Structure 1
Amino acid sequence: MGRRLRTFVFGAKTKLLCVALGVLFCMWFSSKIGYIMSWNTHFPSSVYSPDRGGYTVLINTWKRSSHLKQSVAHYASCTGADAIHVVWSESDPPSEKLKDHLNTVVLKKSRSTHKLDFRFDIYEEDNLNNRFRPIEGLRTDAIFSVDDNVIVPCHTLEFAFAVWQTAPMTMVGFVPRMHWLGEERTGAVSYKYGGWWSVWWMGIYSMVLSKSAFFHSKYLELYTNAMPPSIHQYINAERNCEDIAMSLLVANTTDAPPIWVKGKIYEIGSPGTSSLHQPHHYDGRNKCMNDFVSMYGTLPLVSTNVKAVDTRHQWFW
């Protein structure tokens, strides 16, 4: 009986020691991972401060007033939002009723300690390049570019902003895409555009789409005034691929990959043009990739398998 008791106690102590060592190892490993990734994983629940400047939400809209109202109301409630700019490229300017409604919503929803700057950036020409025009009087370096039908929860957006602050020259976003090398029968090199399922299957990406992504405000100037005019003309004619062009521009400037932030985002209403339900979507994107490469003379995109995860909201990481 005494021997059995000693064996039981010894075994229990051994198991307890193993568990303690396992916990210590996990703590050590997680700290090392945080160091290796060069991201600050210890940031406050609210990352906004006047010293950092917050971020400007740049909403691209097109004849979807109901979507725009929901989007403005949501982003006005996010703590780090310093300003909201609506890119308006419709033939008719926004009505006074719409402007008054949105101004009231912004005042009601804003949680900032100072007045949130809300305005329409109105363009007479319907041109996708308008979403990346330079903006006068910006108070922030950080731009959060988003479509009017895309909602990113505020806590997820604040985390992405914190990630962007560690690498402000790259793009940080929620919608990853990839490219890969193909070869035509003639032997000429070509490239393929890969959607979400390609990213999921391959485990790599080289772009994050501007439908929900952070980037530095200087890229608005570079996109408009430094990028080859032939790309502007192409985008205006095809009404497509301005997001690919921005990814190419940032990659060409940094020689670095973007950063994909894991987090749920929501689309209001029906799926957008990137949906699998859109016929010939990938044919058009493939064409854009190869035409842009011809105009640039190179493909600057850099692939990566890194993903930023907010461990405070994950059971397993």
Structure 2
Amino acid sequence: MYVLGAAFLGHIDDAWKLIDDAWKLIDDAWKLIGDAWKLIDDARKLIDDARKLIDVALKLIDDSFKLIDDAWKLIDDACKLIGDACKLIDDALMVMVATVLVSELDYDSGDDDGDGGSSGSGRTGGNDSGGDESMAAAVVVVVMVLWYDYEVLMRNSTFCLVPRGRRLGSFRFLEVLQAGCIPVLLANGWELPFSEVIDWTTTTIYADERLLLQVPEMVRSVNASQMLYMRQQTQVIWNQYFSSVQKIVFATLEIVADRVRRQRARPLSVWNSTPGALAVNLSFSDYLPHFPFYLTPLGLSPSPRYTAVISVSHGGSGPIHTTPLYKLIKNIARSKFVERVIVVWTSSQPAPAESRLPSGTVPLRLTVPPDHSPSARHHPSPLIQTDAIFSLDEDVTLTTDELDFAFTVWSTFPDRIVGYPARSHHWDHAKGGWRYSSRWTNSYSLVLTGAAIYHRYWHHYYTHASPAPLLSSVAATANCDDILLNLLVSSITRRPPIKLTQRKQYKDPNSEARWIWTDPGHFQQRSACLNTFASTMGYMPLLHSNLRLDPVLFKDKVSVHRKKYRQIEKIGS
């Protein structure tokens, strides 16, 4: 029993030891749990601190963006201030110029002797009048400076100062020429462009840049007629030689060519008058009366006869004596001004024998060009010896009186295209391009070469001086040759063609070629040609006109025997 009791007590001691160990483990576990909570608390604190740092960083980023926006605003304000400063500088310079002008006016109108008299201007009454006028001049100049835009101010100015730029020359010179303002040059020793052939003394005023106070007096010494002439000359020089890079290059090449061929060089009067030296093609002639735009200025008249050039593009069917061509040649042969008839046969049908055409005693020549392009009718020919060419379509119904009347009118205007069928062009805002129109309106800008008379030089210019892309466009479309000729003539003469009488219909209504000019696609194609030509040339040279010329006593209620062209009144409109 004693042994069992001792063993039982030993087990109890072991159990208590285990219990003590368990409590120790529990205590260690609680300590670990406490440490874990401390770590968790520390982590939460770190997270809170991190969040605070993130918030601070975001605030800093927002502040930096705000600073950047403020910086851009400051930059914009600085740019505006710089612009305003530049304007103020410009205004100050102009006011300084105004002050100089006013001081000069005040000097001219003031009282030099102190006796109440006037000097220079013939005014009386002391300094009050001069002071008022000086103040008025100052107000006018300052108002113009502050009110008008730069380009508007130049276009409304008579004289424009052209000081030297960074170099001796200045781009302002060309700006002033384009605006039609008389350049007042302030650049000693400046050699103006093309001065070898251009007489700049008729266009510009040279002033010594060291003597600025003399400029007002120089300007006032130019009278009204001189001002008008000089402003006109600025436009002549600008339009002919400086309005495009192409013209500048061509003018340079022509000056070099004149140096080489001195015996055939163009006179200076040609370079300094309209239409300018670039319009005088020396491959045509070096004799000025051979050019249409010099006949009237030289007091000369063109040759007294014309050559009829008839273009046949269809030919017709049936007997030759029933065709409109046969009737047209009979009317031409009765004209008292015709020299020769040339039939240009571009039809795919075989050409008839010349003997079958009723030219009577008038020489007739039928030619079949190798190229059936519409431009064939405008090719120069050694058969044409007259100044005037009467260009006609095969189905035209003009009478002999109409032919003679047209030639009589053209003899007065030898540089123009004169004829019967008129057309016009206008800008289509909806489509953003030029549009060709055959509507009967109060104005026109083209006269079709189907019934028109003009100088033979235009055939030479059309063939040898037209830009190659334009001739290629005519050949590709088989159309628009008449539009191109009108554009070329207007670009040189800067004048519109001339329409004759009230006739609307000039084609034979029974013509087999009538489908061409009744097809809607025909007008769309011609509108496309207008846009192509204007794009290639860089501008639209056609000009509108409201002029229509009728015979004397036309439709007047007087005896028919008093009228020269009696048959024209019998033609309906």
CA drift at 1:58: 0.7
Deviation at 1:229? 1.4
Q: Work out which of the residue numbers 478, 488, 494 in structure 2 matches 1:249.
A: 488
Alignment-derived partner of residue 423 in structure 2:
177
1:299 is aligned to 2:569: no
> Does residue 409 of structure 2 align to residue 152 of structure 1?
no
Evaluate the alpha carbon distance shift between residue 87 and residue 263 of structure 1 in structure 2; reply closer, same or farther with a 3 A threshold: farther
Alignment of 1:65-80 (within 5 A): 65=320, 66-80=323-337
Native 8 Å contact 1:90 1:123 kept in 2: no
Residue in structure 1 matching 2:311, options 54, 60, 66 = 60
The C-alpha deviation readout for 1:143-200, integer Å capped at 9, x for no partner, is 1101000021111221111111111011001011111122356xxx5211111x2x42
Q: Matched residues in 1 for 2:373 and 2:550: separation?
A: 35
- 2:346 corresponds, among 64, 67, 89, to 89
> What TM-score results when the alignment is normalised by the length of structure 2?
0.41
SS of residue matched to 2:304: coil
Shift of 1:91: 5.3
Q: 2:308–2:389: 8 Å Cα contact kept in structure 1?
A: yes
Deviations along 1:275-306, whole A, 9 cap, x unmatched?
4x313222112111101111111110011101
1:59-113 CA distance string (max 9 Å, x none): 0002235232222122111111111111112457634xx31212xx212xx4xxx
Secondary structure of the residue that 1:134 maps to in structure 2?
A: coil
Q: Larger % of helix: which?
A: 2
C-alpha separation between the residues in 1 aligned to 2:515 and 2:536? 24
1:124 alignment partner AA = P
Structure 2 residue aligned with 1:207: 446
Q: How many residues align?
A: 249
Q: 1:135 to 1:180 in 2, by over 3 A?
A: same
Q: Which residue of 2 is the match for residue 219 of structure 1?
A: 458
Matched, 1:194 2:447: no
- Give distance in 2, aligned partners of 1:121 and 1:217: 18
1:162 to 396, 408, 411: 408
Task: Read off the aligned partner of 1:288 and give its amino acid letter.
Answer: C
Which secondary structure state, in structure 1, belongs to the residue aligned with residue 514 of structure 2?
Answer: coil
For the residue of structure 2 that corresponds to 1:181, the secondary structure is strand
> How far, CA to CA, are the matches of 1:230 and 1:240 in structure 2?
14
Q: Distance in 2 between matches of 1:273 and 1:251?
A: 29
- What residue number does 2:90 align with? none
In structure 2, the residue corresponding to 1:313 is in which secondary structure? coil
Distance 1:184 1:53 in 2: 48
Partner of 1:267 in structure 2?
Answer: 507
- Match of 1:311, SS state, is coil
Give the whole-Å Cα distance in 1 for the aligned partners of 2:347 and 2:451. Answer: 21
Give, as a single letter, the amino acid of the residue that structure 1 aligns with 2:481: E
How far apart are 1:131 and its partner, in Å?
0.8
Please identify which structure carries the higher strand content.
Answer: 1
Q: Which residue of 1 aligns with 2:377?
A: 131
* Distance in 2 between residues matched to 1:240 and 1:227, nearest whole Å: 16
3-state SS of paired residue (2:339)? strand
Deviation string, structure 1 residues 122-154 (Cα, Å, up to 9, x no partner)? 212221110100011422101110100002111
RMSD over aligned Cα, in angstroms? Answer: 2.3
Moved more, 227-236 or 116-125: 116-125
Give the direction of change, closer, same or farther, for the CA distance of 1:252–1:51 in structure 2 (3 Å limit). closer
> Is 1:288 matched with 2:529?
yes
Per the normalisation by structure 1, the TM-score is 0.73
3-state SS in 2 of match to 1:312: coil
Counterpart contact for 1:56–1:85, Cα < 8 Å: yes
- Tell me if the contact between 2:341 and 2:364 (Cα under 8 Å) persists in the aligned partners: yes
The higher relative CO (CA closer than 8 Å, separation ≥ 6) is in 1
Q: For the residues of structure 2 that align with 1:133 and 1:91, how far apart are their CA atoms?
A: 19
In the alignment, the residues of structure 1 paired with residue 489 and residue 516 of structure 2 have an alpha-carbon distance, to the nearest angstrom, of 21
Between 223-232 and 280-289, report the one with greater CA deviation.
280-289
**Is the CA contact (8 Å cut-off) linking 1:90 and 1:125 kept in structure 2?**
no
**Structure 2 residues without counterparts, runs of 5 or longer:** 1-300, 558-573
C-alpha separation in 2, matches of 1:139 and 1:301? 29
Following the alignment from structure 1 to structure 2, what is the Cα–Cα distance between the partners of residues 281 and 90?
19
Contact 1:83–1:117, Cα closer than 8 Å, also in 2: yes
For 1:279, the equivalent position in structure 2 comes to: 520
The separation in 1 between residues aligned to 2:548 and 2:355, in whole angstroms, is 40
**Structure 1 unmatched ranges of 5 or more:** 1-49, 111-115
The offset of 1:243, in angstroms, is 0.9
